[in-house]
Amino acid sequence: MNAIETKRLTKRFGMVTAVDALDLTVREGELFSLLGVNGAGKTTTIKMLSGLLKPTDGSARVLGHDLLTELPAIKPLLAVSPQETAVAPNLTVRENLELIAGIYNSDPKRVQRMIDELGLKEAEKFKAKRLSGGWQRRLSIAMALVSDPKLLFLDEPTLGLDVLARRELWQVIESLKGKVTVILTTHYLEEAEALSDRVGVMNGGKLKITGTPREILDAAGTENFEEAFIRLAGGEAK
Amino acid sequence: MKRTFCFAKRNLKEIVRDPISVGFGIVLPIVLLILLSIINSNIPKEAQENMFEIRLLAPGISVFGLSFIALFAALLLSKDRESSFMLRLYTSPMTGGNFILGYALPLLPMGVVQLIFCFAAAIALGLPFSANLFVCIAVCVPIMVVNIAIGLICGTLLNEKAVGGLCGALLTNVTAWLSGCWFSLDLLGDGFRKFAYILPFANAVDAARAAVDGSYADIPGKLWVVSAWAAGLTALAVVIFTHRKKLK
């Protein structure tokens, strides 16, 4: 079954077309990365698919439900870890997780499980605002996972993190493969190459190409993923 | 309801863990009470001025102090709106009603705590303790709701900086000037007085004073005006929040 199927999904803001007739299919359990330069339409796509923005045109099915007419049925099944760290600053790590678990009516045992699985034990009593950027990102992802979602959107989860913190989060994201459908947006090409089952490259609101990292390299005629991205995002690919 | 209570619990923690807000809401009315009581003790008897007598002052300042609740509500909501945390919550199964109730519920006990501190200070300054004080706290619930609704409307429409100015400065001044909490509205003329009694603040102060006096028959005539404002503003807050939350 496909987790996401979009048909000519479009979002316009006035005269500007942020996402232009997007046809995208993401399979269940897949880790799919959306790549693109700033303004390519990645975040707008995620916002539409997670119910934060209403598409101007086109249609989408998410986890078997129509995005426009069955959003209340979709919401309990998905989770988003937004671009900026989305935590309640004056709550502790545990309290943040308990809040989200309560809102999604999740099994309270999942709070402890997330603390254990994401290595948050040593920080569980710290207020979120006191945590470093890396720990906050880790908490943000734990908050997205505590509801046991079927579909997880990770919008630039490692943005601004140092190399070590980024590699630690890679391990967390990699551990989700096969269990949850993950849509990842990132500017870090090596991240997409290392983690993704498939990659989609967006430019100017259009999806230029989708495929495995190997297929992307072959399509661009290069062995360097960054070079492939530049060629594809720049519109050189056929 | 579970979602509402989870969110309300979070909001209560956010408010009580901000010592500046709590201190402001509780300490400022007490400071005003003490200062105006000192002024009262220095007014010569022959001036026949009774506005600063503790039996009139305490309920007036109590109602004035509740205007800070609007600031708490507005700041919390506007801060959330400007953060990605709200984006996360918008993608959750929470409804507009869950949000509004979740913000409003923790502010009611906060208001009651404020009133308890204010009346405790008033008792120390000479206000006789009686069951009427508990009635007064109950009578103040509609004006609490008015302030919460104003705060939620401002928090939904304005950013954090604008909220500080509007709720922190303008609303508290409007409450002070239009409630007659520490001066008689008659001093500002008949037109101003009539206008003040269209709004909820002066009616709330009168109802609170009637409660403290034990003049229960005078309460309903004032309280219905406050309750009507409370209902109208709450409905407006729900409509505005839901409209803003809708898919764009």
Higher pLDDT, B94 or B171: B94
Q: Is B47 left (phi over 0), alpha (psi -120 to 50) or beta?
A: alpha
Which residues of chain A are within 8 Å of residue B76 when distances are taken between CB atoms?
Answer: none
Interface test with B, best of A103, A140, A183 (most B CBs within 10 A): A103
Q: What is the distance between the alpha carbons of residues A134 and A148, in angstroms, rounded to a whole number? A: 22
Task: Provide the pLDDT confidence category of residue B248 given band limits of 50, 70 and 90.
Answer: low
B76 alpha carbon, distance to own chain's centre: 15
Which residues of chain B are within 8 Å of residue A105 when distances are taken between CB atoms?
Answer: 2-3
- Residue A55, classed as helix, strand or coil, is coil
Which residues of chain A are within 8 Å of residue B9 when distances are taken between CB atoms?
Answer: 99
Mean pLDDT, residues A25-41: 90
Which residue does chain A place closest to B8, by CA atoms? A99
Q: What DSSP designation does A179 have?
A: T
A152 alpha carbon, distance to own chain's centre: 6
Question: Smallest Cβ distance to A82: which of B14, B87, B93?
Answer: B87
* Residue A79 contacts B, CB cutoff 8 Å: yes
The helix or strand, by DSSP H or E, that contains position A172, with its residue range, turns out to be helix A163-174
Q: How much of chain A, in percent, has pLDDT values that exceed 90?
A: 44
Mean pLDDT, residues B156-176: 80
pTM above 0.90, yes or no: no
Test A50 with B84 for CB contact under 8 angstroms: no
Query: Strand pairing of A198-203 and A206-211?
Result: antiparallel
**Predicted ipTM of the assembly:** 0.86
Q: How does pLDDT run across A52-63, given as a tens digit for each residue?
A: 899 999 999 999
Higher pLDDT, B236 or B83: B236
Q: Of the ranges A94-108, A117-131, B6-20, B29-43, which is most confident? A: A94-108
Q: Among A156-170, B122-136, B224-238, which stretch is predicted with the lowest mean pLDDT? A: A156-170
User: Are residues B92 and A103 in contact, defined by beta-carbon separation less than 8 angstroms?
Assistant: yes
Nearest residue to A11 (alpha-carbon basis) of B248, B242, B86, B244: B248
Return mean pLDDT, chain B.
Answer: 87
* Residue A76 contacts B, CB cutoff 8 Å: yes
Which residues of chain A are within 8 Å of residue B101 when distances are taken between CB atoms?
Answer: none
Q: How close is the nearest chain B Cα to the Cα of A77, in Å?
A: 9
* Residue A75 contacts B, CB cutoff 8 Å: yes
Q: How does pLDDT run across A92-123, given as a tens digit for each residue?
A: 999 999 999 999 999 889 999 889 888 888 88
pLDDT for position A237: 42
